[in-house]
Amino acid sequence: MPLGFSIITCTWNSEPYLEASIRSVLAQDYPHIEYIFVDGGSTDGTLERIRALTRPYKLIENVRGGISRAMNAGIAAATGEIVAHLHSDDYYLRPDVLSTVARHLEPGRQGWLFGRMLRDIGGRLLPENWEAPRFSAERLLRGNFIAHPATFVRRDLMLRAGGFDVNLKYAMDYDLWLKLAELSEPVQLDESLTAFREHEGSLSTRERIAAMEEDFQVRMAHVGNRRLAKLMHYARYHVRRQRAIHAAAGK
């Protein structure tokens, strides 16, 4: 039985970027796709663009309370074995992304998979300027190197992990990866699967320091009572934070 994918796209006044995201899903050569939209109350034409789709879809409207609640609402509505979140300013790079993921997940019972992601700045795709480490739970605890739009998780494993923490504003994905890592080791692909459109409205662009601080809080929560590990993580965080402050001041 082929794997079914539930692709969840969260939107809120996303009309300028949504077309490219939708087009990348419709272009997939893999047929078993459930398409779910979760909207936070858009007023800019987003809903009209979704309703213009000629293929089946689910639309959950007026989900308030933050992106984690929206993503969890999508998971609750999903019926596919594999869940992926592709936000309105993300898109798949090739038509064979989902078939590639299915090929790696179908042979066994691996719980999840992640690949790489490119940045789209003004329509120009920029390659990553660093090499992602090989996965281990300990390496992940040092820093998040998993790209959310390029991550695919079995729905039953996602539910076992508890979904996204609604109390987190920035690091909800990192927190979930750490919880998943305690349950199952992922398949790691070195190829780029998705693109993230970086623009002035991007949360990571606007509030990088706040996001770093929440990442650190999540990391400390997962370290537990290991005193030496806590000290090492605090030292790394302090250095990274100072570098980010200096970089922002130099702009």
State the average pLDDT over residues 143-169: 96
Whether residues 218 and 125 share a domain: the answer is no
CA distance 157 to 9: 20
pLDDT band at residue 205 using 50, 70 and 90 as cut-offs: very low
Whether residues 220 and 142 share a domain: the answer is no
227 against 39, higher pLDDT:
39
Whether residues 108 and 215 share a domain: the answer is no
Average pLDDT along the chain? 90
Q: Which CATH number covers residue 172? A: 3.90.550.10
Contacts of 155 (CB under 8 A, 6+ apart): 6, 75, 78, 80, 81, 82, 83
Last residue of a domain, one of 157, 185, 200: 200
Predicted confidence at residue 235, as pLDDT, reads 73
Whether residues 176 and 236 share a domain: the answer is no
Predicted confidence at residue 249, as pLDDT, reads 61
CA distance 123 to 222: 37
Inform me whether the pLDDT recorded for 236 exceeds 80. no
The pTM of this model reads 0.90
Predicted confidence at residue 118, as pLDDT, reads 96
Which of these ranges, 50-59, 70-79, 171-180, 222-231, has the smallest mean pLDDT? Answer: 222-231
133 against 244, higher pLDDT:
133
Inform me whether the pLDDT recorded for 69 exceeds 50. yes
State the average pLDDT over residues 216-243: 76
Whether residues 17 and 117 share a domain: the answer is yes
pLDDT band at residue 216 using 50, 70 and 90 as cut-offs: confident
Percent of the chain, pLDDT > 90?
72
pLDDT band at residue 74 using 50, 70 and 90 as cut-offs: very high
Whether residues 215 and 188 share a domain: the answer is no
Q: For the CA atoms of the chain, what is the radius of gyration?
A: 18
Is 134 in a helix, a strand, or coil? coil
Predicted confidence at residue 231, as pLDDT, reads 73
Whether residues 188 and 222 share a domain: the answer is no
Contact (Cβ atoms closer than 8 angstroms) between residue 180 and residue 161: yes
Whether residues 71 and 161 share a domain: the answer is yes
Where b means 16+ CB within 10 Å and e means fewer, 102-126 reads beebeeeeebbbbbbbbebeeeeee
Which of these ranges, 22-26, 145-149, 226-230, has the smallest mean pLDDT? Answer: 226-230
Whether residues 30 and 75 share a domain: the answer is yes
Inform me whether the pLDDT recorded for 57 exceeds 80. yes
Predicted confidence at residue 245, as pLDDT, reads 66
Which of these ranges, 53-57, 112-116, 141-145, 203-207, has the smallest mean pLDDT? Answer: 203-207
Which of these ranges, 22-36, 46-60, 190-204, has the smallest mean pLDDT? Answer: 190-204
Predicted confidence at residue 193, as pLDDT, reads 98
pLDDT band at residue 248 using 50, 70 and 90 as cut-offs: low
Tally of domains within the chain: 2
Q: Which domain holds residue 127?
A: 5-200
Whether residues 157 and 251 share a domain: the answer is no
Predicted confidence at residue 212, as pLDDT, reads 84
Whether residues 168 and 234 share a domain: the answer is no
Whether residues 74 and 12 share a domain: the answer is yes
Predicted confidence at residue 92, as pLDDT, reads 98
CA distance 61 to 67: 13
